[in-house]
Amino acid sequence: MKTIKKKHLFAQLLFSTFGALLFSQTLIGCGNTAPSSRSALTAEQFSRSRWDAVIEQANGGEINFAMWSGDEARNRYYQNTVAAKVKQQYGVTLRFLPTNDVADIVNKLLNEKGAGKTSGGTIDLVWINGENFRTAKQGGVLWGPFAEALPNIKHFAEDARQRDFGTLVEGYEAPYQRAQFVIAYDTARAPDPPRSIEKLREWIKTHPGRFTYLAPPDFTGSAFIRHILLFYLKRDSTGGAFDGKFDEQRYQRAAAATVAYLNEIKPHLWRKGETYPTSPKEADRLFANSEIDFTMSYGPSFASEHIARGEYPPTTRTFVFGEGTIGNYSYLAVPFNASNPAGALVVINHLMSPPHSLDQGRALGSLFPLLPDGLTTEERAAVVALPLGPATLPAAELAKHQLSEPDAQYLERLEKDWREKVLKQ
Amino acid sequence: MKNPTPTKVLEALAIIAITGLTATPLALLAARSLAQSWYWPSLTPQVWSVRAWKYVFSPTADVLPALATSLSVAMVVTLFAVIVALPAARVLAWEEFRAKRAVIFALLLPVLTPPLAATMGVHALFLRYGLTDTLIGVALSHLTLTVPYATLMLTGSFSRLDPDYEAQARTLGAKTIDVWRSVTFPAIAPGLAVAASFAFLISWSQYLTTLLIGGARIVTLPLTLVAFQWGRR
Amino acid sequence: MLLNFTVRRWLMLAPALAVIGVLFAGGLALAAAQSLGYFAPTGENALTLRHYVSLVDDREIYASLWLTLKLATAATMISAVAGSALALGLREVARRSRTINLLLQIPLSVPHLAMAGALITVIAPSGLLARGAYALGFIQQPADFPAFINDRYGAGIVLSYVLKEAPFIALMTLALLARLGDEYEQAARVLGASAWQRFRHVTLPLVAPAVVSSSLMVFAFIFGAFEVPFILGRPFPAMLSVVAQQRYLDVNLAVRPGAIALAVVSALVTAALAWAYMRLTRALIGLERPFVL
């Protein structure tokens, strides 16, 4: 009898603790759900406002930023340095929502729009680009237009402001970071890497099992096959020079050549091309563990960062194709139901500023995204003096070999064709 | 009477298996978290470092707040799930009725359905009723998965308890609350503990549901970790 | 009791059924409606069966379905055998100490992705086993090591699930064994049955309900899971839920209702298989109510 009493006393204690916690959490939970009481700035109001009025409205507010959080160094930099700066300069509190894939966020917004939740949204700022931007814009889940009215927009190149992967931006997102596709290799294992697409084909055949690419729809894998498509699109002189716009006939011809290329190298790939890695982490693992000799990324400093963290061998370097590699921009956008658009705009403008870009370049090795024209002499000197990691190519070298993204329709069609004609064979 | 040999062998194998099964993944995960560089062909990490742990517990990673949130949500869910499951399990274990098969099937439905479809649908539903971005909303969304498991496990516990004990206690004059405290609860306590811990674990490890329903306000541990582990842009 | 038995019964079932009915079924109905053409993200809102019809012609679906069936069945069967063996082996020990139950719960609390990650560390072509083989001079490079992950047979996926689900089945079975005690087997021994006869005619039917019902849950879970198959499997053929997930997240919103249709079909297949499995075990072991835990 005694043992039962003790047992049930303990259980009662446990349950009452649960109950107390439940009660308190309900209270706290209720407290947390109250959105900011100030009314959210509308796009229409913004178009009529002066910038300092926006800054004033943002002061004292809080914004939630859905930023890809898979990188420690980046998280640390943003949560400490950037947040402090923004708080000090504008009085805005910057909070972060850990995000794995911006597609999840876009989905959430689409669902919210479908259910009529047009205000009081929990996300104020999104880091976005490419197909996700297209989906979001088509789904009508972005606030705006706003980008062309931001003071710092003048620092960005025209083509970045006009189109994102061929989709018209129309002011619904603001350019913010630049990236360029680079290929990493280990000088200890492959001292003389193939620096063109045709040389790559030869190299793969003479080194069976040492190369692979990520399976689309992964971002990087999709970029790799796009390079091959672009290669054939530009060589195709029928109908004049290639201008980046989508053309069915051009696509058919180039795609046929691309598919032929990919199928030709397939049996000589890692695992005989029967499977492909599906995430960058997996490709990193294969590269670091000597299963493959090359890996790729859109971040020019990615290899240096990996070396610094001990994840890649210190003999790793990067290169770009002689024909050039694709460069693109990533953007910042505001969800249609953001609670604090004014705060978001202020932060966006700050992240587009020369001081921030320089600082981020120093802290994270990010490629400097701004045009030199709008910079002061000191700023221009600072850009030149930005430190490069051991495996990072200098900005001038990258710029010399930069290609623009072709229309997003090429990407979609190619991904489908890759699945049907290369993967499933 | 001595145990026959085959049983002894099986027992030894089972003990080895279970110790291996519990120790090895944990040891590997611990090693990986402490290894800065550990690549081919080295059998042990080339470079050890506590950097990952330092980061996890630094304020930047937001791990401790996320841990606290995960804990609160999971506890709320466990409590709700058990309260809901107890009466249902009692009926399923002790009573026979025509619709019983259908009820069991209905309860199994959330377990059988691929989580994707249900999650998206639940999100749309919660949006309409303003349950998103709240702790209660997240807790409710976890209930759809925990209630079935808890009910089924508790049904097992109840089915091994003879309803006669309760009847006897009542005949002897005990009030319902005393019957619960002295007869029912002690008998099902082990099963209850297992059911509760299961509900807790399920709630603890939810990612997609919490992301959709919880939004930016409710950040739990899997969200922080997933963003880390399998980062892809 | 003032309330009659039937009313009381349904009152007690009500909370659980309300949770399922309102929270879950409501959500599922909304999703299913999308697969039937309503509330389409592209704006349409009318009944149509074309999303289901389009699945029929899709070659990829059949390959995925076949793969999913094979892997889920293999993983479940191996887990069931291993789990029951584990439970039977640990029976005596469990009687003496509570720690066994605790130990069994540890693999359960390791998230599936973490288990997959630990597995990769060990059996990948550049994993610990391969490095051991290299140190012993058996292989020269990772490519020489046999492929256990991202392979044709889905070995890695099966292994990952077995490592997590066998303890689950063992736990459920042990719970049942603890309550049953060994009176039945003692009685059989006294009556002259051999060890094998006791096992086949007494022990096995006694543990069958726990093994069957937990196996069903394991099967359903594996059938619908996608994170582990995504990491440890191949891009093609991929398991059904991976395909559904990828289609759901496709940038082309028009693909989404088709993905939901796939998920619905997948759920129906699981339910049908579960039903068939239940009938089969009832016939084989001759149980009255195979699903009572």
Q: Does the residue C278 lie in any domain? A: yes
* Greater model confidence, B88 or C2: B88
CA-to-CA dists, residue A195 to A192, A302, B53, C116, angstroms: 9, 19, 40, 36
Cβ neighbours of C236 in A, within 8 Å? 419, 423-424
Residue from A68, A65, A61 nearest A122 by CA = A65
Please report all neighbours of B, defined by 3+ CB atom pairs within 8 A.
A, C
Cβ neighbours of A298 in B, within 8 Å? 233
For helices C112-123 and B5-34, the axis angle rounded to 10 degrees is 90
A 2-61: CB under 8 A from B: 4, 7-8, 11, 15, 18-19, 21-22, 25-26, 28-30, 32-33
pLDDT of residue B212: 58
Return d(Cα C159, Cα C71) in angstroms, integer. Answer: 10
DSSP state of A142: B
pLDDT of residue B213: 63
Cβ neighbours of A412 in C, within 8 Å? 251-252
- Assign A93 to helix, strand or coil: strand
Please report all neighbours of C, defined by 3+ CB atom pairs within 8 A.
A, B
Tokens of B202: 């399920």
Structural domain of C223: 31-89+166-285
Q: Do A18 and B135 touch (CB under 8 A)?
A: no
What CATH number does residue C175 fall under?
A: 1.10.3720.10
Return d(Cα B86, Cα C12) in angstroms, integer. Answer: 9
**N-to-C CA span, chain C:** 29
Regions of chain A with pLDDT less than 70: 1-38, 70
Return d(Cα B164, Cα B168) in angstroms, integer. Answer: 6
DSSP A24-50: HHHHHHHHHH---SSPPPPHHHHHHS-
Q: Nearest-CA distance from C30 to chain B in Å?
A: 5
Return d(Cα A210, Cα A193) in angstroms, integer. Answer: 12
Q: Return phi, psi of residue A99, to 5°.
A: -125, 130
Q: Which residues on adjacent β-strands are paired with residue A402?
A: A325
Q: Which of A100, A132, A307 to mutate to test the interface with B (most CBs of B within 10 A)?
A: A100
pLDDT of residue A24: 43
Find, in chain C, the residue whose alpha carbon is nearest to that of A420: C60
Q: Do B233 and A66 touch (CB under 8 A)?
A: no
Q: Does the residue C83 lie in any domain? A: yes
Rg of chain B (C-alpha set): 23
- Assign A405 to helix, strand or coil: coil
Find, in chain B, the residue whose alpha carbon is nearest to that of A218: B232
Tens digit of each residue's pLDDT (9 = 90 or more) over B43-66: 888 888 887 777 667 766 666 777
pLDDT-derived band at B215, boundaries 50, 70, 90: low
Q: Does the residue C252 lie in any domain? A: yes
Q: Which of A20-29, A214-223, B159-168, C31-40 has the highest mean pLDDT?
A: A214-223
- Given a cut of 80, is residue B196 above it in pLDDT? yes
pLDDT-derived band at B4, boundaries 50, 70, 90: low
Provide the number of CB pairs (under 8 Å) joining chain A to chain B: 146
Q: Across C55-134, where does the E strand assignment appear? A: none
A112 close to B (CB below 8 A): yes
Q: What ipTM is given for this predicted complex?
A: 0.83
pLDDT of residue A123: 92
Q: Nearest-CA distance from A392 to chain C in Å?
A: 27
pLDDT of residue B1: 46
Cis omega (within 30 of 0) for bond into A280: no
Query: What mean pLDDT, rounded, does chain C reach?
Result: 83
pLDDT-derived band at C251, boundaries 50, 70, 90: low
Q: Do B228 and A80 touch (CB under 8 A)?
A: no
Return d(Cα B142, Cα B136) in angstroms, integer. Answer: 10
Cβ neighbours of B230 in C, within 8 Å? 113, 231
Tens digit of each residue's pLDDT (9 = 90 or more) over B9-48: 888 888 888 888 888 888 887 888 788 788 888 888 888 8
Break chain C down into helix, strand, coil percent, rounded to 5.
75, 0, 25
- Given a cut of 80, is residue B134 above it in pLDDT? no
Q: Nearest-CA distance from C52 to chain B in Å?
A: 15
pLDDT of residue C163: 93
pLDDT of residue C292: 45
Q: Which residues contact A75 (CB under 8 A, 6 or more apart)?
A: A69, A96, B60, B61
Cβ neighbours of B222 in A, within 8 Å? none
Q: Return phi, psi of residue A328, to 5°.
A: -150, 175
Q: Do A25 and B62 touch (CB under 8 A)?
A: no
Tens digit of each residue's pLDDT (9 = 90 or more) over C133-170: 999 999 888 988 999 999 999 999 999 999 999 998 99
Return d(Cα C151, Cα A187) in angstroms, integer. Answer: 30
Q: Does the residue C122 lie in any domain? A: no
Nearest to B228 among A70, A298, A309 (CB): A70
Tens digit of each residue's pLDDT (9 = 90 or more) over C68-83: 999 999 999 999 999 9
Q: Which residues on adjacent β-strands are paired with residue A128?
A: A331
Residue from C73, C54, C68, C69 nearest C260 by CA = C54
Q: Do C236 and A279 touch (CB under 8 A)?
A: no
C 209-268: CB under 8 A from B: 210, 213, 217, 220-221, 223-224, 226, 231, 240-241, 244-245, 248, 259-260, 263-264, 266-267
Return d(Cα A309, Cα A105) in angstroms, integer. Answer: 29
CA-to-CA dists, residue A26 to A18, A20, B123, B202, angstroms: 12, 10, 20, 21
Please name the helix (run of DSSP H) or strand (run of DSSP E) that holds residue C271, with its range, or none.
helix C256-285
pLDDT-derived band at C42, boundaries 50, 70, 90: low
Q: Does the residue C192 lie in any domain? A: yes
Contact yes or no for B134/A29 (Cβ under 8 A) = yes
Amino acid at C49: L
- Given a cut of 70, is residue C282 above it in pLDDT? no
pLDDT of residue A23: 44
Q: Do C293 and B114 touch (CB under 8 A)?
A: no
User: pTM to 2 decimals?
Assistant: 0.81
CA torsion sign for B53, B58, B60, B63 is positive
Q: Into how many domains does chain C fold?
A: 1
C124 close to A (CB below 8 A): yes
What is the average pLDDT across B156-173? 84
C169 close to B (CB below 8 A): no
pLDDT of residue B209: 62
pLDDT of residue A66: 92
Q: Does the residue C113 lie in any domain? A: no
CA-to-CA dists, residue A417 to A424, B2, C230, angstroms: 10, 68, 21
Cis omega (within 30 of 0) for bond into A217: yes
Q: Do C126 and A285 touch (CB under 8 A)?
A: yes
Q: Does the residue C96 lie in any domain? A: no
Q: Which of A331-340, B128-137, B168-177 has the highest mean pLDDT?
A: A331-340
A293 close to B (CB below 8 A): no
Nearest to A290 among C142, C236, C251 (CB): C142
Return d(Cα A29, Cα B233) in angstroms, integer. Answer: 31
Domains and CATH numbers, chain B: 6-49 (no CATH), 60-230 (1.10.3720.10)
pLDDT of residue B223: 57
Contact yes or no for A362/A386 (Cβ under 8 A) = yes
Q: Across chain C, where does the E strand assignment appear? A: none
- Sole residue written with tokens 């039962």: A4
CA-to-CA dists, residue B70 to A25, B64, B139, angstroms: 12, 10, 10
Q: Which of B120, B132, B176, B184 to mutate to test the interface with C (most CBs of C within 10 A)?
A: B120
Please name the helix (run of DSSP H) or strand (run of DSSP E) that holds residue A403, with its range, or none.
strand A402-404
Q: Does the residue C104 lie in any domain? A: no
Domains and CATH numbers, chain A: 11-178+329-387 (3.40.190.10), 182-319+403-423 (3.40.190.10)
Q: Do C236 and A135 touch (CB under 8 A)?
A: no
Contact yes or no for B76/B143 (Cβ under 8 A) = no
Cβ neighbours of B55 in A, within 8 Å? 72, 76
